[in-house]
């Protein structure tokens, strides 16, 4: 069994109310995000690949377009723009691009990340 991970970056702004960070969190502020989408499988004997990365890249391009240089609070399907909801949102958007096992979203400048493994059974 193999896992194949594709990462991408985007820049976005948000505001979060009700945290212990107070005003610095409530004001509109931006972050550089790095997301990773991981798929699991066995390489196809004909291609030698777990999946055609072009399919995954198409999904990622659409996600990046929806998130990059956007105010995340305005993306209704995202909900409150937390790392948790970003990882879930990306998971939902990338479905159909192979056997997705996890999506991680990182804010490297803050030393924070969150990984979503899909809905509980």
Annotated binding-site residue numbers for Zn(2+)? 14, 29, 31
The binding site consists of 14, 29, 31
Cα-based distances in Å from 87 to 23, 25, 50, 99: 25, 19, 22, 16
Distance CA(106)–CA(66), nearest Å, equals 17
Alpha helix (H) ranges present in 1-114? 23-26, 53-67, 83-94
Distance CA(65)–CA(51), nearest Å, equals 23
């Amino acid at each position: 069994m193999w896992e194949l991970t594709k990462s991408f970056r985007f820049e976005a702004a948000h505001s979060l109310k009700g945290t212990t960070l107070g005003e610095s969190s409530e004001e509109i502020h931006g972050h550089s995000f790095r997301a990773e989408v991981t798929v699991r499988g066995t390489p196809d004997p004909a291609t030698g690949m777990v999946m055609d990365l072009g399919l995954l890249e198409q999904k990622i391009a659409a996600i990046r377009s929806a998130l990059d240089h956007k105010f995340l609070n305005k993306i209704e399907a995202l909900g409150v723009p937390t790392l948790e909801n970003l990882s879930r949102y990306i998971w939902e958007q990338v479905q159909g691009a192979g056997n997705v096992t996890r999506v991680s979203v990182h804010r490297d400048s803050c030393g924070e990340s969150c990984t979503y493994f899909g809905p509980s059974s």
